[in-house]
Amino acid sequence: MTALRQWLQDPSPASRRQARLGQMWLAWLRIRRNRLAMAGLVIVGTLLVVAALAPWIAPHDPLAQDLTRRLLPPLTPGNLLGTDDFGRDILSRIIYGARITLYIIGLVAVTAPVLGLLIGTVAGYFGGWVDATLMRLTDIFLAFPRLILALALVAVLGPGIGNAILAIALTAWPPYARVARAETLTVRNSDYIAAIRLQGASPARIIAGHVVPMCLPSVIIRVTLDMAGVILIAAGLGFLGLGVQPPLPEWGLMISSGRKYLFEQWWVATMPGLAIFVVSLGFNLLGDGLRDVLDPRSAAR
Amino acid sequence: MTGSPVSGNRAFVLAGRIGLGLGSLAITILGLLLITFLISRVVPIDPVLSIVGERATEAQIAAVRAKLGLDLPMWQQFLIYVRDALTGDLGTSIRTGEPVAAEIARYFPATLELATLGTIFGTLVGVPAGVLAATRPGSLADQVVRVIGLMGYSMPVFWLGLIGLLVFYGQLDWVSGPGRLDPTYDMMMQFTLTPYTGMILIDSALNGAWDVFGNAVSHIILPAGLLGYVSMAYISRMTRSFMMNELGQEYITTARVKGMPEWRVVWVHAMKNALVPLITVITLSYAYLLEGSVLTETIFAWPGLGSYITDALFAADMPAVLGGTVVVGAVFITLNMASDLLYRLVDPRARA
Amino acid sequence: MTLLDVRNLRVTFQTETGPVQAVRGVSFSLGRERLGIVGESGSGKTITGRAVLRLIRPPGRVEADAMVFDGQDLLHATDREMRALRGKRIGMVMQDPKYSLNPVMTVGRQLTEGLRLRDGLGRADAGAKARAALEAVQIRDPDRVMDAYPHELSGGMGQRVMIAMMLIPEPDLLIADEPTSALDVTVQAEVLSILDALVRDRGMGLIFISHDLRLVARFCDRVLVMYKGRIVEEIAARDLMAARHPYTQGLLNCLPRIGGPRTPLPGLDRSGAWASGGAP
């Protein structure tokens, strides 16, 4: 253990891998000192564990209705967070809802940044009219309010989880394109790119092999920070009835079904909202900490 | 030495920028219209059927198609669509049969009133909070501002609205419930007062109807406070980051060397510089509030653009949905452009 | 007469990897004379200058056995007393006018700010004084410069504005921190001679911080050589070329000479006891 630590902290690393791992180790040390970021990491970790182990943790079947046990308040024996209007256990529904949330943000996280990276690096690398056209397109999409564009898209495609994800991904890519383009512009004219070009590498190879890796850190930070927003938009679509459809236990949908009972049975709408809030806060805290650690430009002086 | 900065020269440069900006504004709005046009053409709802009904004959369908211009090539249809949109014709609502543009003109003031008040709250609280945090990095005040800001980023606004209604309306009864006015005041507003702007706070004040004004305040305070919190979260974080950046600059040391008191160093020297990017942030957050009102308006039964779009959505009223989208998008783009212009006014470096 | 007396000044910065001492026990005193401080970057010369004005912000910490300016204790002065000293009695010219002038305020406002706010002068009086100050630094069309923004000025112009700004209240001590390093070689001499003449005419004390040994030798009466936060040698400027300390000699040997031998310049030999942090 100490030998490993020494190897990681070696001020004169023997290989590129050692240097890189050493950097990551230092970053980890720094983020570990950041208490808020660690709290975020714990929340995101918990979300992953809860989603993975949902069938074993959840006390009840999230879809099982029991009309004799409708709208029970929190702390009822057997229903820690109470039950909803169909007598379903709210805690179990929140636990299973973690899977849906994770599914949505997972799919958005692997589609939108890829699209954005592609457009941004191509625009930045080629410059000229390619750049002008692609960036104008990006601006147009950026000019669209995200939720409204997602609404319009869902209206066309029809409600449902798949279409909601598609709509969110289609509205989420422009910021990544901006970030990727900015990074590409800074490396495009560097000598090592020129060297690779002189070796006869094709633009596709240069972009995929040498430009994209340079953009990844900033894109990863953005993804983490963006996930909170994605959770909120997904929940908003669910709340409006345009995302995940009943009876699936999506958190936004659960809030909307609890709205009818807001003043008498407050917990039905409150509990799933807390879940959204905590998870989204977790991603924000983590992303914030990552940015402080990995992005020296925006680090506090 | 650079050339002599004559004021007339500056005005000329600025005018040139505005011209350039208008050009890019036009292109962006054209792009916006193209996207909504494409969406409207892939929509599974057939506008012809919804007009003529299920039992129409072939000839009737063909006649309506020709009347709507649907038999023309796509590019011609698009040109007609652009021409109509630019002349203020956003189509006819399927639900009500009224022109979409006229309906939006009726709904929009409510949204504008709400978002404006929210932005004012957000700026008045967010900027000082961000400055406070930036002048004492790492302090308790900084941590509190940071956490409150992050919470605002993480809160689903529709949920917070419900909680707000539950606590301040349901439990404490400090504010009025959903809607813009109580029904009696609403009648007064509609039948006895002159509508100047469509914004109740302004109209009732202009009419001197202070009871209506008071009632309107009790209705708007909760949703506006809510939107204000969301925008405060964003503005305070950005203010903190900009001010931290400026306070680390060398000209700040110069100001201190000159013996300037700390308030002047922070609020004049640093703030004047931080204001440059901050203007963009505040206009952006204003634009987001106009958009973000979709969910808030649903919660508070606020008859604004957001409610209009969502209601139209559920009635499968595509002209209304797309018309609303175009308007929100256009407002968004215009605000962006305005922030760009303001930016140039505040930053002397951008004028040259 | 002693203007400034500094005894055992220490400046510490709290960093992620523990405290770092930027200045470790610097002592010097200064009359109405011109004192040079030389050293490499990172030797603590800039921090020393700023510590005198108490411009080190947390997490930096300034300690000293004594720091007295004209009979006034700088260590225990209140913020208000410090503000009264800064600008009025001690001024500082920084390295690069591109960063040290406020980019969104006109030169005129920056020049008159102190006069109007502190001395309560009216607009016209303050403006006249500022214009006079600009003329004193040999700016020929002060009216145009007053209306300009800093980015509209060249580096040499900017630095003259900076000097004018600091000299308006006629301070007793001026700290010049690398005042010409960011300027083109052609304007360096010009700015220096302006500074030299003003300091000489008004009989101010001057602390001239630089990494340029020859410049300091020509411009100052006395020179402190700093290395790693300590003073390793104090010497009269005219004797600088005959310095005995190995570090100073090392610095001198690094300078190329016109007409000198065309062998590679030697690197600094840091093997002596002075380099490892022992007592100088």
Per-residue pLDDT at B271: 92
Task: List b or e across C61-77, with b for residues whose CB sees 16 or more CB atoms inside 10 angstroms.
Answer: ebebeebbbbeeebeeb
Looking at the complex, does the CB of residue B241 fall below 8 Å from at least one CB of chain A?
yes
What was the pLDDT predicted at A245? Answer: 84
C202 has pLDDT over 90: no
Which conformational region is residue C183 in: left (phi greater than 0), alpha (psi within -120 to 50 degrees), or beta? beta
Q: Which residues of A touch B321 (CB under 8 A)?
A: 151-152, 155
Asked if B262's CB is within 8 angstroms of C79's CB, the reply is yes
Domain limits, chain B = 15-86, 105-351
- Is the pLDDT assigned to residue C64 strictly greater than 80? yes
* C237 touches B at CB < 8 Å: no
How far is CA A107 from its chain centroid? 9
Give the B window 282-321 contacts with A, CB below 8 Å: 287-288, 290-292, 294-295, 298, 309-310, 313-314, 316, 318, 321
In chain B, % of residues over pLDDT 90: 13
> Do A142 and A174 contact (CB within 8 A), yes or no?
yes
Dist CA A221 CA A295 (whole Å)? 8
DSSP readout, A117-151? HHHHHHHHHH-HHHHHHHHHHHHHHHHS-HHHHHH
The answer, yes or no, to whether residue A122 has pLDDT greater than 80, is yes
Which residues in A lie closer than 8 A to residue B39 (C-beta atoms)? 152-153, 156
Contact C44, C26 (CB under 8 A): yes
pLDDT number for residue C266: 64
Mean pLDDT across chain A: 83
* The amino acid at A177: A
Six-digit token string for A219: 């894109």
- Alpha-helical runs (H) found in chain C: 45-52, 79-85, 97-100, 107-117, 123-136, 142-147, 155-167, 185-202, 213-219, 246-253
Average pLDDT over residues C2-11: 87
> In the structure encoding, which two tokens stand for residue C71, read together?
């009979």
pLDDT band at B47 (very low <50, low <70, confident <90, very high): low
Q: How far apart are CA A222 and CA A227, in angstroms?
A: 8
- Taking CB atoms and an 8 Å cutoff, what residues of chain A touch B325? 144, 148-149, 151-152
- Is A8's Cβ below 8 Å from some Cβ in B? no
Q: Residue A158 and residue B44: Cβ atoms within 8 Å?
A: yes
Asked if A182 and A152 touch (Cβ cutoff 8 Å), the reply is no
Residues of A in contact with B292 (CB under 8 A): 147
Mutate to test the interface with C, among B246, B257, B260 (most CBs of C within 10 A): B257
- Please give the average per-residue pLDDT across A244-255, as a whole number: 87
The percent of residues above 70 in pLDDT, for chain B, comes to: 89
Q: Is a pLDDT exceeding 80 seen at residue B352?
A: no
CATH 3.40.50.300 applies to domain C1-89+173-178+204-280: yes
Res. C277 pLDDT band, cuts 50 70 90: low
Distance from CA of A127 to the nearest CA of B (A): 18
Is residue C221 scored above 90 in pLDDT? no
User: Which of B65-79, B100-114, B316-330, C57-71 has the highest mean predicted lDDT (pLDDT)?
Assistant: B100-114
CATH no. for A49-300: 1.10.3720.10
- Among the partner residues A136, A148, A263, nearest to B328 by beta-carbon distance: A148
How far apart CA A154 and CA B37 sit, in angstroms, is 15
Give the amino acid at B130.
G
Q: Do the beta carbons of residue C86 and residue C165 sit within 8 Å?
A: no
Neighbours of chain A (3+ CB pairs under 8 A): B
Cα angle vertex C220, ends C215, C222, to 5°?
120
Q: For residue B130, what pLDDT is reported?
A: 94
Q: Count Cβ atoms below 10 Å from residue A228 Cβ, excluding itself.
A: 26
Mean of pLDDT values over C115-140: 86
Q: Say if the Cβ atoms of B309 and A148 lie within 8 Å.
A: yes
What are the Cα distances from residue B211, in Å, to A43, B189, B224, B226, B244? 49, 11, 20, 24, 45
User: A261 pLDDT exceeds 70?
Assistant: yes
| B264 reaches C (C-beta below 8 A) | yes
pLDDT above 90 for A260: no
DSSP string, chain A: -HHHHHHHH-SS-SSHHHHHHHHHHHHHHHHHH-HHHHHHHHHHHHHHHHHHTHHHH-SS-TT---GGGTTPPTTBTTBTT-B-TT--BHHHHHHHHHHHHHHHHHHHHHHHHHHHHHHHHHHHHH-HHHHHHHHHHHHHHHHS-HHHHHHHHHHHH-SSHHHHHHHHHHHHHHHHHHHHHHHHHHHHTSHHHHHHHHTT--HHHHIIIIIHHHHHHHHHHHHHHHHHHHHHHHHHHHHTTSSSPTTS--HHHHHHHHGGGTTTSTHHHHHHHHHHHHHHHHHHHHHHHHHHHH-TTTS--
Domain coordinates in residue numbering, chain A: 49-300
pLDDT band at A291 (very low <50, low <70, confident <90, very high): confident
Kindly indicate the confidence band of residue B51, based on its pLDDT and cuts at 50, 70 and 90: low
A 10 A CB-CB count for A139 gives 18
User: What are the chain C neighbours of B2 within 8 Å (beta carbons)?
Assistant: 152-154
- Model confidence at C27, pLDDT cuts 50, 70, 90, reads confident
pLDDT at C258: 65
Highest average pLDDT, of C59-63, C141-145, C269-273, comes from C141-145
pLDDT at A301: 31
Give the C-alpha separation, C74 to C206, whole Å: 18
The Cα A286–Cα A180 span in angstroms is 21
Is the CB of A299 inside 8 Å of chain B's CB atoms?
no
Q: Taking 50 as the threshold, does the pLDDT of residue B6 lie above it?
A: no
Task: Give C112 to chain B, closest Cα distance, Å.
Answer: 11
CA distances from residue A93 to A42, A53, A70, A100, C221 in whole angstroms, order as listed = 21, 13, 14, 11, 82
Chain A CB contacts of B329 below 8 Å: 143-145, 148
Confidence of residue A300 (pLDDT cuts 50, 70, 90): very low
User: Does position A142 have pLDDT exceeding 50, yes or no?
Assistant: yes
The most confident of the ranges A41-55, B23-37, C27-41 is A41-55
Q: What is the mean pLDDT of residues C140-146?
A: 88
Checking if the pLDDT of C224 tops 90, the result is: no
pLDDT of residue A131: 86
**Interchain CB distance below 8 Å, B250 and C94:** yes
User: Which of C49, C7, C47 has the alpha carbon at shortest distance from C27?
Assistant: C7
Cα–Cα dist A138/B9, whole Å: 33
For strand C34-38 and strand C205-210, is the pairing parallel, antiparallel, or unpaired?
parallel
Rounded alpha-carbon distances, angstroms, from residue B274 to B277, C104, C144: 6, 10, 26
Distance CA C186, CA C162 (A): 18
Q: Which residue of C has its CA nearest to B268?
A: C105
Phi and psi (nearest 5°) for C90? -125, 130
Q: In the structure, what pLDDT confidence band is assigned to residue B118 with cuts at 50, 70 and 90?
A: very high
Q: Model confidence at A129, in pLDDT bands (50, 70, 90)?
A: confident
Residue A246 confidence (pLDDT): 82
Distance CA B155, CA B296 (A): 13
Phi, psi for C265 (deg, rounded to 5): -70, 140
**ipTM beyond 0.90?**
no
pLDDT at residue C274, as a whole number: 60
Give the pLDDT band (50/70/90) at residue C87.
Answer: confident
> What pLDDT is stored for residue C279 in this prediction?
42
In chain A, the percentage of residues whose pLDDT exceeds 90 is: 8
Write the residue in A156, A283, A301 that is nearest to B39 by C-beta. A156
Helix H or strand E encompassing C7: strand C4-15
C86 vs B contacts (CB less than 8 Å): 256-259
Instruction: Answer whether A253 touches B (CB < 8 Å).
Output: no
Question: What is the per-residue pLDDT across B141-190, written as a single tens digit (0 to 9) for each?
Answer: 988 998 898 888 888 888 898 898 888 888 888 888 788 888 887 777 77
Q: Choose from A146-155, B4-13, C271-280 the range with maximum mean pLDDT.
A: A146-155
Q: Lowest mean pLDDT: which of A237-241, C68-72, C107-111, C240-244?
A: C240-244
Cα–Cα distances (Å) from A272 to A103, A269, B96, B104, C279, in that order, read 17, 6, 36, 34, 67
Q: What is the CA angle A21-A26-A32, rounded to 5? A: 120
In this predicted structure, the answer to whether residue A80 has a pLDDT above a threshold of 90 is no
SS3 state of residue B228: helix
Residues with Cβ within 8 Å of A73's Cβ and at least 6 positions away in sequence, in order, are A82, A265, A267
The mean per-residue pLDDT over the stretch A277-282 comes to 92
Which pLDDT score, from 0 to 100, does residue B2 have?
A: 39
Residue-wise pLDDT tens digits, A164-218: 888 888 888 888 898 888 888 888 878 888 888 888 888 888 888 888 888 887 8
Which subunits count as partners of chain B given 3+ CB pairs below 8 Å? A, C
Percent of chain C clearing pLDDT 90 (strictly above): 1
| Predicted pLDDT at C278 | 46
Instruction: Select the more confidently predicted residue: A218 or A233.
Output: A233
Smallest CA-to-CA distance from A6 within C17, A18, A15 is with A18
User: Residue B3 has what pLDDT?
Assistant: 39
Q: What is the pLDDT of residue B119?
A: 94
Helix, strand, or coil (residue B123): helix
Phi and psi at residue C123, in whole multiples of 5°?
-55, -45
- Are the C-beta atoms of residues A259 and A237 closer than 8 Å to each other? no
Give mean pLDDT, residues A121-139.
85
Mean pLDDT rounded to a whole number for chain B = 82
B248: Cβ contacts below 8 Å, ≥ 6 apart: A301
- Reply yes or no on whether the pLDDT at C91 is more than 50: yes
In this structure, which topology does domain B105-351 adopt according to CATH? MetI-like fold (1.10.3720)
Nearest-CB residue to A152 (from B137, B158, B325): B325
Q: Tell me if residue B333 falls in helix, strand or coil.
A: helix
pLDDT of residue B53: 67
Average pLDDT over residues A81-105: 87
Residues forming a β-bridge with C14: C19
Quote the CA–CA distance of C193 and C159 in Å, as a whole number.
Answer: 13
Give the per-residue pLDDT at C264.
65
Interface test with B, best of A36, A104, A147, A270 (most B CBs within 10 A): A147
- The pLDDT value given to residue B232: 93
Contacts of B273 in chain C (CB under 8 A): 102-104
- Average pLDDT estimate for C65-93: 86
Q: With a threshold of 0.90, does the pTM exceed it?
A: no
Cβ <8 Å between B5 and C88? no
Least CB-CB distance to C114: which of B258, B272, B352? B258
Could you tell me if C102 and B272 are in contact, meaning their C-beta atoms sit under 8 angstroms apart? yes
**Per-residue pLDDT averaged across A223-229, rounded?**
85
**How close, in Å, is residue A145 to chain B by CA atoms?**
6
Query: Cβ-count burial of A27 within 10 angstroms (0-12 exposed, 13-18 middle, 19+ buried)?
Result: middle
- Indicate if the alpha-carbon torsion angle B107, B110, B116, B119 is positive or negative: negative
Find the angle CA(B122)-CA(B128)-CA(B131) to the nearest 5 degrees. 125
The pLDDT tens digits of the residues spanning C42-55 come to 788 888 888 888 88
| Strand partners for C29 | C5
CA C165 to chain B, closest CA, distance in angstroms equals 8
A297 has a pLDDT exceeding 60: no
